[in-house]
Structures are given as structure tokens and as C-alpha cells.
């Protein structure tokens, strides 16, 4: 029994030596996110306008029903979303919208610091998603 | 050899020096208590591959002050169904014995001031150890009272456990120390330090290794430190005897726990490690020994899980008590026949 007690003590003593901490001091030190990380959405640009053609596949597949789209037509007769809005308070970051999109017009970034003070600030409009 | 300073040969000097000694010891103990919490969190954090406090001041050094301020400004809640007087009294009754025990611990040899020898010890009782054991026994009243006065089942269970634990372990601790008296022939701590004052090999840890181990383990149990912290076992009893306490009253329990740690370390150092003997000035040697034991206690807390209640009782009555008795018999035989 005493051998085991000493073994335990030696393990904790080894951890005491510098360089054994696994803590990431978060605000000062940030881990890099994986390429496949599902963070804040981003609408892809194509010739200074969004690639999205308002096909409604993403709001259809969205399990949280957080995407609002209103379709419109530009002067060339091309469909585009006049409104494209994601409610981040409802979004569950499942990434189905990205998978469903036939044009790869929406993608997810590594941005994860989404806390805010006001409810309205969680409503990401088209302009904010295009940034 | 200069005359020993006493109340009869220079009362004013005696009283002022006494006050100075009391203040110095009190401040040192309070400071150690404050920074023991920091050291404990830092060391246990490192041992569990965390960092411990880092944000309050450089390296988190202001953490004890921040904790103190926080506890000071917390709402002081006294449960409606509690026994008010006992509820108020309990934290004091646990803290006071912890602090006054330090009075008999010698922290250096004699200093000559104005032609008088002044011992670096607040008071040298000729029954020093008996006094320490008595105070250790009194400390548990605070816990039992807190448990009973709170009128909460968790607190009551914690208090009862504490009483049972102290009865079981005080016996073994007391018997372990008896072997030391048999060698020193005195109960005064000053006398015990003097008896170990030769070389390092005169320290009782070498002639009484079993008593040393027994005393360290049983005193851990007496001050309710892990792995014997059953009175406040978080996993079963919420927070045990101090469940209902908040604000400064809770802080007093906390301070008492660390003060008890310091006291036990100092007693162990005095009884077995020659007290203030060592390469540096007396008080520094004693402090180093105290810090060593406190590190050991923190290390043990970071490593071992809490023992089960039946294991605790088994160890107290069936392992430590017979071992302590055996140690007395062996010591007696050695003292008489060699």
C-alpha cells in the first residue's frame, strides 16, 4: 500500500515541474481553429456581389429555422436575395446550410467570439455576413 | 549567563517585549494564513496541470486580498431556524484555539536585551504539550457547535463526524507524543528543543521515526485536512459543518483551517525536527520547517482521495493506536535497558 501512495505522490510531484500545465490562457492566448471549424457564417462574394441566387435550399434544410431569405431580381433578370438574415441566437452551427448550397455561396469561418450585449446585435444581415 | 527577564525584575520591559512578541507572531501567522491559500491553489493547480490564480496582480499574488475583500462584503446570512448564539460563537471557538496554540512554540534561542535573557517564545508553559493537546481538543467544539447550531442535516453530520474523528485520532496522536516525552523527560517545549539541540542526529525524528509518522498522519486527521476531511466532505455533505455559513464567518473557518495547519507544522517541527535549530537564524529555521510541512500537506491534498468513513475508523483504532502503544513499549524498553 505504501508503494502505491509514494507512486501517487511522485506523479503529482512530476506535474509540479514547470512546463506541465495544459491550460491555454484564453484571452491572452488563442488556439488556432481547425479548417473544418463551424463558426460564424460568411456569404461568398463574386464580382462585388453575393454568389447566392436565393434558391431557398438553406432555410429549407436549416433545423433551427434561423435563416430568412427574401428573393428579388436584378435588372439582368438574375435572382438574388434582397434579404439574407441569420439569427445567431437560434443557429446551432450544424453546417447544413453550407452542405445544402449548390453554389457554395455560404461558408463557415473560424470566428467564434459571438457574444454581444443586445438581442438585435445577434441578427446578422446580408451586409454583415458579406464582410 | 544573564538573568532571565521576568515580571519581577523589569516589568515594563517584560510587558512591552511580550506585546511585541505576541504582535510579531500574530502578524506572521496571519500573513502565512493569507498566503497559504494562494500557495495551496497555485501548487495544487500545478500538480493537476492547471495554472492556479494568474489574473489578480502579477502572478495572481493579490488573490488572497481579493478573496478577503470579497468575503468581507458578502451578505452575512444567519439561518432563521438556527441557534443564533451558538451560530455566532462557533467560528470564534474554532479560530481562537488555533491561534493561541502558537503561544507555546519556541521560535528561537535566548536573546540578551539590557542584560536580561529573553526567550524567543511567547510563554514557556511547563505543561506545554498538554496545553497544545487541550487546545486541539477544544478546536473540535467549534466544529461540533457549528454543525449543531446551523440546524441543517449536512452540518450536523459534519459536526458529528468531526467529533468521532477527533476522539479516534487524538488518542493516537497523544500516545505518539508520549514516546517523545519518555526521551526528553519534560513536557515543556523549550525543554524538548533543548534536548534536541546537539547535532542533527539528536532530532527525535531519527530516534522516533514511527512516532513522527504517526503524529503527522494523525494530526492531519485532527485538523480535518484531506485525506481525512470527512467533516466537510464536499461530495457527500455539501460543505459539512460550514454549509450554512457565509461572509466573514465562513472566512474565519477558512482561516482556522490554515492556522491549524501552521500550528500542526510548527508542533511537528518542534517535537521532531529540533524546532528553531538549523543553519540560519532561529525563526527562519522554524519557518522553513513549517513551510516544508505545509507543502507536504498541500501535496497530500493534491494526491490522495478522501478515505471512507469506516476506513478512517479502522485506521484510527486498529492501526495507529496499536502502533503508538507498541512504540511506547519499545521506547520504554530502550530507555530502561540501554
**DSSP-assigned letters across all residues of B71-88:** HHHS-----TTS-HHHHH
Coil, helix or strand at residue B113 = strand
Tell me what percent of the residues of chain B surpass a pLDDT of 70.
100
Q: CB neighbours of B163 closer than 8 A, spacing ≥ 6?
A: B140, B143, B144
Q: What is the pLDDT of residue B5?
A: 76
| CA–CA separation, B36 and B225 (whole Å) | 14
Å between A38 CA and nearest CA of chain B: 28
Chain B interface residues (partner A, CB cutoff 8 A): 43, 46-51, 54, 299-300, 302-304
pLDDT, mean over chain A: 89
On chain B, the residues whose CB falls within 8 A of the CB of A25 are 51, 54
- Interface contact flag, B302 A5, Cβ < 8 Å: no
Distance of CA A11 to the CA centre of its chain: 39
Q: What is the pLDDT averaged over residues B69-81?
A: 87
Q: What is the pLDDT of residue B115?
A: 75
Q: What is the pLDDT of residue A24?
A: 86
Element (DSSP H or E) covering residue B111: strand B110-113
Beta strands in chain B (DSSP E): 3-4, 110-113, 116-119
Least CB–CB distance from A22: residue in B49, B299, B300: B49
Which of A:76-95 have CB within 8 Å of B? none
Q: What is the pLDDT of residue B1?
A: 66
Å between B317 CA and nearest CA of chain A: 18
| CA–CA separation, A70 and A9 (whole Å) | 65
Element (DSSP H or E) covering residue A12: helix A2-16
| This prediction's pTM | 0.82
Provide φ and ψ at B191, rounded to 5°.
-65, -40
pLDDT for residue A96 is more than 90: yes
Least CB–CB distance from B46: residue in A8, A11, A16: A16
**Using an 8 Å Cβ cutoff, are B228 and B220 in contact?**
yes
Q: What is the pLDDT of residue A48?
A: 79
Å between A17 CA and nearest CA of chain B: 8
pLDDT for residue B46 is more than 70: yes
pLDDT for residue B289 is more than 70: yes
| CA–CA separation, B209 and A44 (whole Å) | 75
Q: No. of H helices and E strands in chain B?
A: 13, 3
Task: Give, as one character, the DSSP assignment of residue B229.
Answer: -
| CA dist list (Å): B227 to B34, B37, B198, B230 | 22, 18, 35, 8
pLDDT, mean over chain B: 85
Q: What is the pLDDT averaged over residues B66-74?
A: 88
**Using an 8 Å Cβ cutoff, are A77 and A47 in contact?**
no
| CA–CA separation, B246 and B39 (whole Å) | 23
**Is the minimum CB–CB distance between A8 and chain B shorter than 8 Å?**
yes
Residue B314: exposed, middle, or buried by beta-carbon count in 10 A (0-12, 13-18, 19+)?
Answer: middle
Among chain B residues, the shortest Cα distance to A5 is held by: B304
What domains, with CATH codes, occur in chain A?
23-130 (3.30.70.3270)
Q: What is the pLDDT averaged over residues B66-91?
A: 87
Cα pseudo-dihedral B174, B178, B184, B190, rounded to 10: 10
Among chain B residues, the shortest Cα distance to A10 is held by: B303
**Is the minimum CB–CB distance between A5 and chain B shorter than 8 Å?**
yes
Least CB–CB distance from B49: residue in A8, A13, A20: A20
List the Cα angle B331/B335/B336 in 5-degree steps: 120
Residue in this structure with the C-alpha cell 444581415, named with its chain if needed = A125
pLDDT, tens digit, for every residue of B262-277?
989 988 988 888 878 7
Grid coordinates in use for B165?
474523528
Beta strands in chain A (DSSP E): 41-43, 45-46, 49-50, 67-73, 79-87, 106-108, 123-124
On chain A, the residues whose CB falls within 8 A of the CB of B46 are 15-16, 20-21
**Using an 8 Å Cβ cutoff, are B195 and B183 in contact?**
yes
Amino acid at each position: 500500500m505504501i508503494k502505491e501512495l509514494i507512486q501517487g505522490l511522485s506523479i503529482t510531484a512530476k506535474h509540479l515541474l514547470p512546463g506541465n500545465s495544459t491550460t491555454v490562457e484564453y484571452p491572452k492566448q488563442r488556439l488556432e481553429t481547425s479548417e473544418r471549424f463551424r463558426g460564424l457564417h460568411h456569404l461568398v462574394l463574386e464580382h462585388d456581389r453575393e454568389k447566392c441566387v436565393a434558391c431557398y435550399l438553406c432555410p429549407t434544410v436549416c433545423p433551427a429555422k434561423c435563416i430568412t431569405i427574401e428573393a428579388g431580381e436584378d435588372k439582368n433578370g438574375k435572382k438574388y436575395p434582397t434579404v439574407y438574415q441569420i439569427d445567431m441566437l437560434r443557429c446551432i452551427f450544424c453546417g447544413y446550410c453550407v452542405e445544402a448550397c449548390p453554389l457554395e455561396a455560404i461558408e463557415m469561418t473560424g470566428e467564434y467570439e459571438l457574444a454581444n450585449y443586445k438581442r438585435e446585435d445577434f441578427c446578422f444581415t446580408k451586409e454583415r455576413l458579406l464582410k | 549567563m544573564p538573568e532571565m527577564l521576568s515580571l519581577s525584575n523589569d516589568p515594563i520591559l517584560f510587558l512591552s517585549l511580550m506585546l511585541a512578541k505576541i504582535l510579531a507572531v500574530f502578524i506572521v501567522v496571519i500573513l502565512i494564513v493569507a498566503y497559504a491559500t494562494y500557495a495551496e491553489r497555485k501548487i495544487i493547480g500545478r500538480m493537476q496541470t492547471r495554472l492556479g490564480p494568474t489574473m489578480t496582480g502579477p502572478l495572481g499574488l493579490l488573490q488572497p486580498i481579493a478573496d478577503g475583500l470579497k468575503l468581507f462584503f458578502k451578505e452575512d446570512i444567519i439561518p432563521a431556524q438556527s441557534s443564533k448564539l451558538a451560530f455566532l460563537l462557533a467560528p470564534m471557538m474554532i479560530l481562537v484555539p488555533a491561534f493561541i496554540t502558537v503561544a507555546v512554540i519556541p521560535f528561537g534561542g535566548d536573546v540578551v536585551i539590557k542584560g536580561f535573557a529573553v526567550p524567543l517564545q511567547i510563554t514557556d508553559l511547563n505543561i506545554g504539550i498538554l496545553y497544545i493537546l487541550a487546545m486541539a481538543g477544544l478546536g473540535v467544539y467549534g466544529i461540533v457547535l457549528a454543525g449543531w447550531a446551523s440546524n441543517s442535516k449536512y452540518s450536523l453530520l459534519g459536526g458529528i463526524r468531526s467529533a468521532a474523528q477527533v476522539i479516534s485520532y487524538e488518542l493516537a496522536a497523544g500516545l505518539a507524543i508520549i514516546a517523545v516525552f519518555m526521551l526528553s523527560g519534560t513536557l515543556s517545549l523549550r525543554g524538548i528543543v533543548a534536548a534536541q539541540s546537539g547535532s542533527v542526529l539528536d532530532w527525535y525524528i531519527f530516534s522516533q521515526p514511527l512516532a513522527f509518522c504517526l503524529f503527522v498522519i494523525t494530526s492531519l486527521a485532527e485538523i480535518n485536512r484531506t485525506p481525512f476531511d470527512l467533516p466537510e466532505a464536499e461530495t457527500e455533505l455539501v460543505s459539512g459543518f460550514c454549509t450554512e455559513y457565509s461572509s466573514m464567518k465562513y472566512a474565519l473557518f477558512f482561516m482556522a483551517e490554515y492556522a491549524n495547519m501552521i500550528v500542526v507544522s510548527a508542533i511537528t517541527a518542534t517535537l521532531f525536527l529540533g524546532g528553531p535549530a538549523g543553519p540560519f537564524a532561529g525563526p527562519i529555521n522554524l519557518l522553513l520547517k513549517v513551510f516544508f510541512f505545509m507543502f507536504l500537506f498541500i501535496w497530500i491534498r493534491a494526491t490522495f482521495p478522501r478515505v471512507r468513513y469506516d476506513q478512517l475508523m479502522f485506521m484510527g483504532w486498529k492501526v495507529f493506536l496499536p502502533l503508538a502503544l507498541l512504540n511506547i513499549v519499545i521506547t520504554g524498553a530502550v530507555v530502561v535497558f540501554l
